[in-house]
Chains A and B, each alone.
Chain A
Amino acid sequence: MRRLPFEYAVRNLGRSPSRLLMSAGGCGLVVLLAMAAGGFVSGMQDSLKISGSPRNVILMGAGSEESVERSEIPMRTPGIAATGIRGIAIAAGVEAISPEVHLAIPIQLQTETESPTEENEANALFRGITPSAFLVHQEARLTEGRFPETGADEVAIGRLAARGLGLEGEDRILGSTLVVDERPFTIVGVIDADGGVIEGEIWIPLSDLLIIGQRDTLSCVVIRTTDGDLTSAHGFAATRLDLELVATRESDYYASLAAFFKPIRFMVMITAILVAAGGVIGGLNTTYAAFASRVREIGTLQTLGYSRLAIVRSLVEESILTASIGALVAAAIGILVLDQVTIRFSMGVFGIQIGPGVVALGLLGGLTLGIVGAVIPAIRCLRLPVPEALRSS
Chain B
Amino acid sequence: MSLIECRDLTRTYTRGSEKITPLDGLHLDIERGGFVALMGPSGSGKTTLLNLLAGIDRPTRGSLLIDGRPVHTLSRNALAEWRSEAVGYVFQLYNLVPVLTAYENVELPLLLHSLSRKERHQKVAAALDLVGIADRSDHYPRQLSGGQEQRVAIARAIVTDPTLILADEPTGDLDRESATNIMDLLKRLNTELGRTIVMVTHDPKTTVWCDTVLHLEKGKLADSNADDSSGTESHNQTMTEISS
In the complex, chain A residues whose CB is within 8 Å of the CB of B242 = none
Stretch at the interface among A8-16, A215-223, A350-358, A367-375: A8-16
From known contacts A304-B108, A387-B51, infer whether A8 and B83 are also in contact, taking CB-CB under 8 Å. no
In the complex, chain A residues whose CB is within 8 Å of the CB of B109 = 304-305
Q: Is the CB of B77 within 8 A of A8?
A: no
1/0 per position for B203-235, CB-CB distance to A under 8 A?
Answer: 000000000000000000000000000000000
Min CB gap A280→B, angstroms: 26
Stretch at the interface among B30-38, B92-100, B143-151: B92-100
In the complex, chain B residues whose CB is within 8 Å of the CB of A329 = none
Q: Is the CB of A386 within 8 A of B99?
A: no
Q: Is the CB of A385 within 8 A of B111?
A: no
Asked whether B119 is an interface residue with its Cβ less than 8 Å from the other chain, the reply is no
Main secondary structure of the interface of A (DSSP, over half): helix
Q: Is the CB of A15 within 8 A of B80?
A: no
From known contacts A385-B57, A387-B56, infer whether A304 and B99 are also in contact, taking CB-CB under 8 Å. no
In the complex, chain B residues whose CB is within 8 Å of the CB of A301 = 97, 108
Asked whether A307 is an interface residue with its Cβ less than 8 Å from the other chain, the reply is yes
Report A302-322 residues with CB < 8 Å from chain B CB.
302-308
Q: Which of A303, A307, A390 contacts B77 (CB 8 A)?
A: A307
Asked whether B178 is an interface residue with its Cβ less than 8 Å from the other chain, the reply is no
Min CB gap B35→A, angstroms: 21
- How many angstroms between the C-alpha atoms of A7 and B107 in the bound complex? 13
Q: Is the CB of A303 within 8 A of B89?
A: yes
Q: Is the CB of B83 within 8 A of A303?
A: yes
Asked whether B169 is an interface residue with its Cβ less than 8 Å from the other chain, the reply is no
In the complex, chain A residues whose CB is within 8 Å of the CB of B85 = 305
Asked whether A2 is an interface residue with its Cβ less than 8 Å from the other chain, the reply is yes
Q: Which of A3, A5, A305, A390 contacts B80 (CB 8 A)?
A: A305
Asked whether B112 is an interface residue with its Cβ less than 8 Å from the other chain, the reply is yes
Residues of B at the A interface (CB closer than 8 Å) are: 47-48, 51, 54, 56-57, 76-77, 80-81, 83-85, 89, 91, 93, 95, 97-100, 104, 108-109, 111-113, 156
